[in-house]
Amino acid sequence: MTLQNIVHNPIYAGIYMHGRRAIDPRRRIAGRTSTGKVTVPMEQWKVVLPGRLPAYIDEDRWRANLARLQANRATAGTPGAVREGPALLAGLLRCGRCGRKMAVHYTHRPDGAVNGYSYGCSRARSDYGLPRCQHLSGACVDTHVSAALLEMLAPAALEVSLEAATAIEAERARLEALWQQRLERATHAADRACRCYRLAEPENRLVVRTLERDWEQALVELERLREDHDRFLASSPPVLSPADRDRIRVLAADVPALWHAATTTNADRKQLLRTVIDTGTGSVIGDSEQVTVEIGWAGGHRTGGQLVRPVARLEQLSYYPQLAARVLELDDAGLPAARIAEHLDAEGFHPPKRFEVFGSQSIRDLVQRLRATTGQPGHRTPTPPPPGRHTWWMSDLARELAMPPVTVYNWIRRGWVTAHQQPGTRRWIITADPTERERLRELRRLPPGYHTRRRWHPDLPPTDRDDHAAKAKL
């Protein structure tokens, strides 16, 4: 707290001030005279006299330190302090759906090292109990923004930026000339009001009071214009000298090598990003793998782009209907799973998650699932029926119940169905008469997670489920 007071106090920069603190009546505690003090903004101080006291640092450095402290605060409008984690857009990325700052979620290995990270927006869920806005992998977003940064800092793009800076400087010079004219007119009006006041006879009190009021209004207007001019100078971009431009051109050629160097830390990369990027916005299109990203650069320029994030299921892919139709078409043509995977890779289809190409087993599972859920027969030679009455192969029962075969296999492992493996082939044979099939259909209609939440046993009739769950809980 002592260091905070030293750095924030204007005396540290040699500034004499009055009115930095005020009394807020709403915060006063009865009987305690020292309570209720608040710090007011610098624009509301009554007296500000720079250079009146011995200074430890200059005024510009003091203001820069205050700006850095404000930016390091973990508030909604600031990016926060730079951390050592690998997430480059921590504090900069915002949700494209609600506009809130997206949080970083790290996963760690048993040895404590970072295994991966992601960006997520859970503000609606934490505040109102609503579903989470969106969640996306962090590596793909950081890669996209890093590529955009290096492209923006390339020599060709840098020359365009320097030309734009020249145009901005010319516009600033034009506005500065207008400001000087306004200040000159206000100064002339204040001087004229002063001369009129001093030339008036003291006996004419009414005239003197009127002239004094006019002089005071002219001085107030002049002071207001000077303050507005100071704010204009502080907000407009600085002028680059020819030496600065040459130095920027030389450093631009070294930025890619510096960015990928092993000696460059994550904190260094984040600091460079925050120098040229003000904010970033990410928005997932529906629940698909498509993500739109908008980057707000320092100076007000904004660029947009689109990237692909890893997803968990094939059904989340935006081209899943085309993929499913193409897989069934190639399977009907009699191609094996390996050839189907090669065709899909050549045609630009990609699996979910982080895999680049399809595998043979994933194609076989997809074909089996599509045949089971859509009811479309394949071109393969039909297998003979299993031996025994009311018996089914696992894939045939899955098709009969309109469910994935993997779900039937999970039921076999849990003991929810009566099944055994055929000697020699080790294929599963399930015994299910019409009554059993109806029970399995009813089991299939239960919501996901029902069994773990209610501790329900599949052999119990529907009317006894709640009683059994209550007894199991006791």
- Give me the residues paired with residue 292 across strands: 283, 306
Per-residue pLDDT tens digits for 101-127? 898 999 888 888 888 899 998 878 888
Q: Is the dihedral of CA 57, 2, 77, 47 positive or negative?
A: negative
Kindly state the tokens that stand for 187: 């100064």
Write down the mean pLDDT value for the chain.
82
Kindly state the tokens that stand for 134: 């969106």
| pTM of the predicted model over 0.85 | no
Whether 385 shows a pLDDT value over 50: the answer reads yes
For residue 199, what pLDDT is reported?
86
Nearest to 430, CA basis, from 460, 465, 389 = 389
Nearest to 293, CA basis, from 433, 156, 149 = 149
Per-residue pLDDT tens digits for 78-94? 777 888 888 999 888 99
For residue 131, what pLDDT is reported?
84
Per-residue pLDDT tens digits for 145-196? 999 888 877 765 566 566 666 766 777 788 888 889 999 999 999 999 998 8
Whether 251 shows a pLDDT value over 80: the answer reads no
For residue 371, what pLDDT is reported?
80
Q: pLDDT above 70 covers what percent of the chain?
A: 85
Q: pLDDT above 90 covers what percent of the chain?
A: 17
Whether 450 shows a pLDDT value over 80: the answer reads no
* Helix or strand holding residue 391 (H, E): strand 391-393
Whether 398 shows a pLDDT value over 80: the answer reads yes
Per-residue pLDDT tens digits for 14-51? 999 999 888 888 888 888 888 888 888 888 889 999 99
DSSP string computed for 272-288: HHHHHEEEEEEEE-TTS
What is the average pLDDT across 285-306? 88
Whether 132 shows a pLDDT value over 70: the answer reads yes
Between 241 and 461, the higher pLDDT residue: 241
For residue 294, what pLDDT is reported?
93
pLDDT band at 356 (very low <50, low <70, confident <90, very high): confident
For residue 4, what pLDDT is reported?
87
Q: Which of 219-223, 229-233, 370-374 has the highest mean pLDDT?
A: 219-223
For residue 449, what pLDDT is reported?
65
For residue 364, what pLDDT is reported?
83
Whether 451 shows a pLDDT value over 70: the answer reads no
The b/e string for 38-53 (b: 16+ C-beta within 10 A; e otherwise) is eeeeeeebeeeeeeee
- For 349, what's the count of Cα atoms within 13 Å in the CB-facing half-sphere? 23
Whether 394 shows a pLDDT value over 60: the answer reads yes
* Amino acid at residue number 163: E
Kindly state the tokens that stand for 359: 């595998």
